[in-house]
Structure 1
Amino acid sequence: METIISACISACVTLLVCLISNRGQQEKTRALLEYKLEELTKRVDKHNNVIERTYELEQKLCVQEEQMKIANHRIEDLEKKGG
């Protein structure tokens, strides 16, 4: 009978230690995942910012190219009138 009681106590203690250990590991894993997610979010925000800036630069470039075409046509017209 004593053997059964000691085995039950040993099993309960082992189970308790396992539960405590698993709980600690879960908390560490959750913290690590939250940190990595936060860092990934920051990188995505930076990437999106670069994409937005690139789009704005492309729009400005199109406007400047159109202005250059207009200026070149005006110069050609002035050269034809003067020549």
Structure 2
Amino acid sequence: MSENIVIALIAFAGTLIGSYFAQRRTTALVVYRLEQLENKVDKHNSVIERTYKLEQDICIIDEKIKVANHRIDDLEDGK
């Protein structure tokens, strides 16, 4: 074989190996970033669920206050 062909094959092999490892590194980084994003989304969804629960609790407390005020008004009118 010609010396030029051997050099070309070595360069080709080096390029393939370099591309392979670069792709693996990129894939690992994308997977890591995706996991971090999933964690952030889970935290956000947790906040939304807690906010919804608090809104329900506020409605219940408002209703209890209305009932208490109505009972106080009835007691004051009964005097």
TM-score strictly above 0.5: yes
Structure 1: 5+ residue runs without aligned partners?
none
C-alpha separation in 2, matches of 1:19 and 1:59: 60
One-letter amino acid of the structure 1 residue matched with residue 56 of structure 2: Q
Cα RMSD, aligned residues only: 0.9
One-letter amino acid of the structure 1 residue matched with residue 5 of structure 2: C
- Matched position secondary structure for 1:29: helix
Q: How much does 1:26 deviate?
A: 0.4
Residues 21-62 of structure 1 show CA distances to partners (whole Å, capped at 9, x for unaligned) of: 000000000000000000110010000001000100010000
Tell me the percent identity.
46
C-alpha separation in 1, matches of 2:37 and 2:18: 29
Normalised to the residue count of structure 1, the TM-score between the two structures is 0.92
- Does the alignment pair 1:58 with 2:55? yes
Which protein shows a greater Rg? 1
Moved over 4 A (4+): none
- Does the alignment pair 1:24 with 2:21? yes
Normalised to the residue count of structure 2, the TM-score between the two structures is 0.96
- Count of residue pairs the alignment pairs up: 79
Other-structure match for 1:45: 42
